[in-house]
Structure 1
Amino acid sequence: MVTRHTPTVFVLVLLVVLSGCVGGGTVAPSEPRTESASEASASLQTANATTASGTLEVHYINVGQATSTLVVTPENETMLIDTGDWRDDGEYVLAYLRAQNITRIDHLVTTHADADHIGGHASVIEYYEQEADGVGAVYDPGIASSSRTYESYLDAVERYDIPLYRVVSNDTLPVAGVNVSVLAPPAEPLAGGERNENSVVLMMTHGQQRFLLTGDAETEGENYLVETHGDRLNATVLQAGHHGSNSSSSDALLDASSPQVAVVSSAYQSQYGHPHEETLARLGERSIATYWTAVHGNTVLTSDGRNLTIATQRNATTVAPELHTAPPIEPGATDPVVERATLVGGVAATPMLVATDGGVDTPVTAGESSGESVGSGESEASTPTETEPPADDDAATAAELSLVSVQADASGNDHGNTNGEYLVFENSGNSPLDLTGWTVADEAGHTYTFPMGFTLAPGARVTLYTGEGSDTDTELYWGSGNAVWNNGGDTIRVSDGTGTVVLEERY
């Protein structure tokens, strides 16, 4: 259970005037409810330095066409970033928080005032102030909205006398146990004060793991990030901007941040088409493992400061261009969250994403992990990786098939050069090896089946290309229209005709 904590650093410019509740569907536009944070930046920078001790949890909640993210720090402080859409009035978020035994929200962050990001603010504040241990502070970019949802949120802040602060680039949120830097918006608003472009952008750092959350920042907001913080954007995990819109997650931002994992929060068959195919293509070109709340459900990332465990409600493809073909999961679904993969190493190391056993429905709740870390290692994907046959005689006899070379990183566009990806296998046994019905699979479940009658002579090699072509005795073709092997690391699993795993290699 998460217990109430008092923030360790709380020196900010407090809101002076809040408007009262106004009837009707909308209210007149109002001035930002907070003073500039420029005077507070120095105080914010004195927050305790983050150590990599303990476990950080980041929960991307499935709230449909909206966004809400729960952070639980190693010191059990909680930060809730946005609260979903106004049409469900915080229902999904509150249900999730209660299921996670969250008894207090230490930090409530408003990325911007759009109603699909602050839809549950008023309800969350009311619940925690009346029935739980309260809300410690609220952070806002200071760009007002004329919506009734925004007015209700501010009324709730005023009613319960919660400190409300305007935050801008180079501020630091006083979150105990993790470093949370504000990268945007600038003190002088972008794009004439357009709300999306002035979203609060956070970089959260825990040891070697860094999480970049960009709200709904679009072209101008992302340009500002790259131009102002280019050398600080490197992150392990990116929350795709604006629900996966093609106006966000640009080439420039992806190149600057170089994420290994992306999370998209939007509805299935969204009325806006989110996530857009262009965005998914950009993620796919970089082999970024992509999780979409509409198909993976609630997605929980757990970090010890070096390794990152990824758990979801549903097991689905993480190949970005294939996400629209996966079946949906509804917001509010109660399926347990199960571990799917572990990223070994963060931005300060060569990361490797490896699959874990997702077949056991072990729920993951705040403060718990459903399993142990898997493996470690490094890889070079720019050139084929040579591997030695097993040294153990019994292992060699049992498997006979050896993986001797991996080329995961094709030249140019991976999806446009699928035959630039390949694996080379060798029969390391002393007798012919009939591979009829044997399969090769990656950690995402993409599977190739060897053709009927295909046999490797002792010492013979065969190259399995990802793309199209005509099979020969030494060359086989998967026939995939997209790249299969992740440039940042993958698991190659070979099973015989009975389904028994006879070879498993991680690179």
Structure 2
Amino acid sequence: MKEFYKNLKWYFLILLFMGVMFIWYTIFQEDKENYLMVAFLDVGQGDAIFIEAPNGNQILIDAGPNRKVLEELGKIMPFYDRSINMVIVTHPDNDHIGGLPSVLENYKIDKIIKSDRKSDTPNFQASEKIIEETKIEKILGKRGLKIILDNKKEIYLKILLPDKKSNEWNDNDFSLVTQLIYGKNKFLMTGDISQSIENYLTYIDSDELDSDVLKIGHHGSKTSTSELFIEKVSPEYSIISVEKDNNYGHPHQETLDTLNKFKTKILSTAEEGVIIFKSNGEKLYLK
């Protein structure tokens, strides 16, 4: 009889656990079904942006400088989710790909979009090896490429740069520049492009740049964030992905002065931690 009650206790605990998990999963799914989520992860001195569409499709743009990206992904992804549909690599600098080998080792990745720029760094070489071994589909990132995240909700991401004129640019300026669009809401992610490339972008895409949220280039360095560019983008929110008390003095005061001039709300991962936006295509919500 004791054995019976002992087993009954375990059955009850298992059922209770499954019930709690079902409720948690249901709430999580209901939240996903209504909103696009864009999370600027707190990875220190680097970039990592996680996007999830209402249908569950996910994109990770860059992976920060180290394994901290795994900790950040664990905060916003359920523990049972071990796959990401697509990774976009803006450029091969270590503060953008240092955590990529860890992501590739811990998550199933279907596709990776990147430029044809290469690097001799250990993290770049390790990433390339894993991509080849796991047969992840590689797509060349270039202007005109459009990625559908949610066909029903008409959510898509388009690549604005690099284009045919970009071949002579340095690695920072050759960054993949992406714009995420859901109804009335737009997010613009600029990698590490400099002011000259920002201004070039205003020339070729003058009427398309207006966005609610702008990821500020090069972690707030004064080499990025031209007045012309900010005027054209006219962001409600400007996100600076940066480490507190970093060795570069980012964000530079010149950048902050430019942003304040145009009265955009500045949010920094160094101060806020992970910064999460949700959109229903009509309104934008800062969590």
Normalising by structure 1, report the TM-score: 0.48
- 1:173 corresponds to 2:147: yes
- 1:123 corresponds to 2:99: no
User: What is the rounded CA distance, in whole Å, between the counterparts of 1:289 and 1:193 in structure 2?
Assistant: 31
Look up the match of 2:122.
148
User: What do the CA deviations read for 1:186-207 (whole angstroms, capped 9, x no partner)?
Assistant: 13425x2411001000110111
Per the alignment, in what secondary structure is the counterpart of residue 285 of structure 2? strand
* Alignment-mate amino acid for residue 73 of structure 1: A
Per the alignment, in what secondary structure is the counterpart of residue 95 of structure 2? coil
User: What is the rounded CA distance, in whole Å, between the counterparts of 1:246 and 1:140 in structure 2?
Assistant: 26
User: What is the rounded CA distance, in whole Å, between the counterparts of 2:169 and 2:194 in structure 1?
Assistant: 13
User: What is the rounded CA distance, in whole Å, between the counterparts of 1:301 and 1:112 in structure 2?
Assistant: 24
Given candidates 46, 53, 57, the residue that maps to 1:77 is 57
Cα contact 2:199–2:226 (8 A) shared by 1: no
The structure 1 segments of at least 4 consecutive aligned residues displaced by more than 6 Å after TM superposition are none
How do 1:21-36 residues align onto structure 2 when only pairs under 5 Å count? Answer: none
Look up the match of 1:112.
91
User: What do the CA deviations read for 1:430-458 (whole angstroms, capped 9, x no partner)?
Assistant: xxxxxxxxxxxxxxxxxxxxxxxxxxxxx
- 1:231 corresponds to 2:211: no
Cα contact 1:82–1:117 (8 A) shared by 2: yes
Look up the match of 1:391.
none
Given candidates 51, 56, 61, the residue that maps to 2:36 is 56
Identity of aligned residues (%): 29
Look up the match of 2:133.
159
- Measure how far apart 1:225 and its partner are: 1.0
Given candidates 233, 252, 255, the residue that maps to 1:257 is 233
User: What is the rounded CA distance, in whole Å, between the counterparts of 1:251 and 1:193 in structure 2?
Assistant: 21
User: What do the CA deviations read for 1:85-135 (whole angstroms, capped 9, x no partner)?
Assistant: 0xx3x2x2112222321431101000000010001111111111xxxxx11
- Measure how far apart 1:165 and its partner are: 1.1
* Alignment-mate amino acid for residue 138 of structure 1: I
* Alignment-mate amino acid for residue 167 of structure 1: G
Given candidates 243, 246, 250, the residue that maps to 1:270 is 246
Per the alignment, in what secondary structure is the counterpart of residue 63 of structure 1? coil
Per the alignment, in what secondary structure is the counterpart of residue 34 of structure 2? coil
Larger Rg: 1
Per the alignment, in what secondary structure is the counterpart of residue 232 of structure 1? coil
- Measure how far apart 1:174 and its partner are: 3.5
- Measure how far apart 1:285 and its partner are: 1.0
Q: Any gaps of 5 or more consecutive residues in structure 2?
A: 1-24, 27-32
- Measure how far apart 1:244 and its partner are: 0.7
Cα contact 1:185–1:221 (8 A) shared by 2: no
Per the alignment, in what secondary structure is the counterpart of residue 137 of structure 1? strand
User: What do the CA deviations read for 1:452-472 (whole angstroms, capped 9, x no partner)?
Assistant: xxxxxxxxxxxxxxxxxxxxx
Q: Any gaps of 5 or more consecutive residues in structure 1?
A: 3-52, 129-133, 312-507
User: What do the CA deviations read for 1:157-187 (whole angstroms, capped 9, x no partner)?
Assistant: 0010001111111111242351101000113
Given candidates 196, 204, 207, the residue that maps to 1:220 is 196
* Alignment-mate amino acid for residue 182 of structure 1: I
CA RMSD of aligned residues (A): 1.5
- Measure how far apart 1:144 and its partner are: 1.4
Higher relative contact order (CA 8 A, sep 6+): 2
* Alignment-mate amino acid for residue 256 of structure 2: L
Given candidates 41, 46, 56, the residue that maps to 1:66 is 46
Look up the match of 2:9.
none
* Alignment-mate amino acid for residue 97 of structure 2: I
Which structure: greater helix fraction?
A: 2
Per the alignment, in what secondary structure is the counterpart of residue 79 of structure 1? strand
- Measure how far apart 1:142 and its partner are: 1.4
- 1:197 corresponds to 2:177: no
- Measure how far apart 1:263 and its partner are: 0.6
User: What is the rounded CA distance, in whole Å, between the counterparts of 1:266 and 1:187 in structure 2?
Assistant: 31
User: What is the rounded CA distance, in whole Å, between the counterparts of 2:124 and 2:148 in structure 1?
Assistant: 24
Cα contact 1:79–1:106 (8 A) shared by 2: yes
